[in-house]
Amino acid sequence: MQYKKAFAVIIFLIHIAFFLSFLFLTPFSLNIFFSFEIAFFSILLVIIASYLSYKKMIYSQARKYKINQNLFLFSLKKVKSLPKNIKFTILKDDLEFSIKNKMYFFVAFFNLLKIFAYVVLVAGFLFLHRQGILHIFGYLCGISSLLICIFIFIVYVRYESKKNY
């Protein structure tokens, strides 16, 4: 990830801006503060866990393929003549996954770090609810502030990539 510093700055600025704008709408209380912060950091943990999971899956898939770099851009090959008798076979058009592929995609999506992140999200919600300090609007603002950070970061990365090319 090239833009780690930019991502951290965007998260910091949007987090502060959302919290300050939220405070202008409602008076300050610890219920609102705890709901906002627990939601924000638990969703941040989910996003980081998803990023690490997909990064690990991409690296494991990339190791399977060997990159052959030819020194020559163009190479001359002898053209072989086709045989006179050609036999065509009919293939199935539908894509059916084997049990091995299904298990691979299940394990790739549900790894322990992501499950732990979702458990933290649910545990934070239940903790706030059981203590009686859950503020639903604050919780939703905490979740949505990080999602807006992600969208702004995506726009920033696209803008930077178009600027460089």
Residue 152 banded pLDDT, cuts 50, 70, 90: very high
Q: What is the mean pLDDT of residues 50-73?
A: 72
pLDDT of residue 104: 72
pLDDT of residue 84: 65
Q: Are 132 and 42 in contact (CB under 8 A)?
A: no
pLDDT of residue 94: 58
CA–CA distance, 109 with 105 (Å, rounded to integer): 6
pLDDT of residue 81: 65
Residues above pLDDT 70, as percent of the chain = 77
Tokens of 111: 């790894």
- What are 11-60's pLDDT values in tens digits? 999 988 888 887 888 888 888 889 999 999 999 999 889 888 888 878 87
Residues 6 or more apart whose Cβ sits within 8 Å of residue 25: none
pTM, two decimals, is: 0.70
pLDDT of residue 88: 66
- What are 92-115's pLDDT values in tens digits? 655 666 777 777 777 766 778 888
Mean residue pLDDT of the chain comes to 81
pLDDT of residue 86: 64
Residues 6 or more apart whose Cβ sits within 8 Å of residue 125: 38, 39, 134, 139
Q: Are 134 and 35 in contact (CB under 8 A)?
A: yes
* 37 vs 78: which has the higher pLDDT: 37
Which one-letter amino acid corresponds to residue 20?
Answer: L
